[in-house]
Amino acid sequence: MPPGESQPARGEDIVLKSADGSSFLAYVAHTGRPAASQVIIYPDVRGLHQFYKELALRFAEVGVNALAIDYFGRTARCCR
């Protein structure tokens, strides 16, 4: 890729671990160029669905790094 040309936005599923050792899912989307801003996306009670991953990618496409976290899943998954 030529110097100065940006790469396309990309995203990936990740697992975050809290201070108490609980794990929960998240999705991070990176811009293809240096980003001046970032956003955290908090999904509704239904959790980290594809909609929120696509929303994070849309932010990344316009130059904003995005992280969507499944904070409800941290406790909801313990009892299934």
What are 26-56's pLDDT values in tens digits?
999 999 888 889 999 999 988 899 999 999 9
What pLDDT shows up at residue 78?
Answer: 42
Cβ atoms of residues 53 and 60 within 8 Å: no
What is the spatial distance between Cα 28 and Cα 13, in angstroms, rounded to a whole number? 7
The answer to whether residue 26 sits within a structural domain is yes
Task: State the average pLDDT over residues 2-28.
Answer: 83
Which domain covers residue 44, as residue numbers?
10-79
Whether 3 is in a domain gets the answer no
Of 58, 76, 73, the residue nearest 15 (C-alpha)? 73
Residue 58 has pLDDT above 90, yes or no: yes
What total of structural domains would you count in the chain?
A: 1
**pLDDT of 76:** 44
**Domain presence at residue 35:** yes
For residue 60, tell me if it sits in a domain. Answer: yes
pTM of the model: 0.80
The whole-number pLDDT of residue 4 equals: 52
Three-class secondary structure of residue 18 per DSSP: coil
